[in-house]
Amino acid sequence: MGLQYRAAALAGIVTQFAWGFLEILMFRAFYRADASAFPMDFSALSSYIWLQQSFLALFAAWMMENDIMDSIVTGNISYELCRPISIYNMWYTRSIANRLARAFLRCFPILAVAVFIPNPYGIAAPASLLHFLLFLITLILGLAVTVSFCMLIYVLAFFTVSAQGLRIVFTSVVEFFTGGLIPLPFFPEKMQRVMELLPFASMQNVALRIYSGSMGGYEMKKAVIIQVFWLVAVTAAGKLLCHVAEKRIVVQGG
């Protein structure tokens, strides 16, 4: 479907490219001001930013399924409720599929260009093969956690009807705590330690940092365990809430 609007896809890729570029320039200015205060290698940071732009569609909290939100507001949800499948599972797979498709379309052009940008500003090779494999695993885990969280918002929309507000609050909190604005290592150490335990850190933060090797062996193990824990916990909470919502739902509109 993404290919049907080629101009739009191209414009999107260019936007993300410009965005990543400006971000790197901004960090460069800080790097020049005081290189010793920089918490990670500059090339690791560049890789972080390019990967973040490439896989934006996997982790962007604001990219929610508008169809789901609209169906709750308009009442079309009743059709979906009639179907003999769990809406939670259906929405979950649909979100994952959509995000994967979008990311697949976008990541290659961005990565391809970023590879040719001269060192320290382009994307570097992964720290090792092990790091790369772990990167792939945590990328998928991170995607699953992100979607589980979005599911919570969809389900909560049953209770507030218009979920726009909930969505904005959620999006801004996620963006901040997941390292979307600045990577987690840039926060003060104490804060960072707390933030790493939160479910938000299990989204993009882990994968992007593992790739460039800015996490130690023990840290990586811990991060993966936390990811799995949050995946299970958030999904369970979402399913439970969905169950409650389905029972008390009143469909409005006709």
Partner 1 sequence: MNKKKSSIKLYIHYISINIRCMMQYKSSFFLNVTGQFLVSFTVFLSMFFMFKRFSSVEGFTYSEVLLCFSTILLDFSLAEMFARGFDSFSVMVRGGDFDRILVRPRGEIMQVLGSKFELTRIGRMLQAIMMFIYGIMASGITWNFSGILTIVFMIIGGTVVFSALFLIYASICFFTLDGLEFMNIFTDGAKEFGQYPTAIYGKKILLFTTFVIPYSLFQYYPLLFLTGRSGNILLMFLPLGACWFIIPALMLWKFGVRHYKSSGS
Binding site for partner 1 (CB under 8 A): 5, 7-8, 11-12, 14-15, 18-19, 22-23, 25-26, 29-30, 32-34, 37, 39, 160-173, 175-176, 181-182, 186-188, 191
Please, which residue, 88 or 170, has the CB nearer to partner 1?
A: 170
Smallest distance from partner 1 to CB 169, Å:
4
Two tokens, residue 107: 């990541």
Smallest distance from partner 1 to CB 177, Å:
9
Smallest distance from partner 1 to CB 85, Å:
28
Please, which residue, 74 or 162, has the CB nearer to partner 1?
A: 162
CA distance 64 to 83: 22
Smallest distance from partner 1 to CB 40, Å:
12
* 166 burial via Cβ count (<10 Å: 0-12, 13-18, 19+): middle
Lookup result for tokens 């949050």 = 230
Smallest distance from partner 1 to CB 164, Å:
6
Please, which residue, 136 or 182, has the CB nearer to partner 1?
A: 182
Which helix (H) or strand (E) element contains residue 109? helix 87-116
Please, which residue, 5 or 236, has the CB nearer to partner 1?
A: 5
Please, which residue, 92 or 187, has the CB nearer to partner 1?
A: 187
Q: Tell me the residue type at 171.
A: T
Please, which residue, 35 or 85, has the CB nearer to partner 1?
A: 35
Smallest distance from partner 1 to CB 155, Å:
15
Please, which residue, 43 or 172, has the CB nearer to partner 1?
A: 172
In angstroms, what CA-CA distances link 65 with 72, 172, 239?
A: 11, 17, 18
In angstroms, what CA-CA distances link 7 with 13, 60, 62, 145?
A: 10, 21, 22, 31
CA distance 121 to 50: 9
Smallest distance from partner 1 to CB 163, Å:
7
* 137 burial via Cβ count (<10 Å: 0-12, 13-18, 19+): middle
CA dihedral 245, 250, 251, 253 (to 10 degrees): -140
CB atoms within 10 A of CB 126: 18
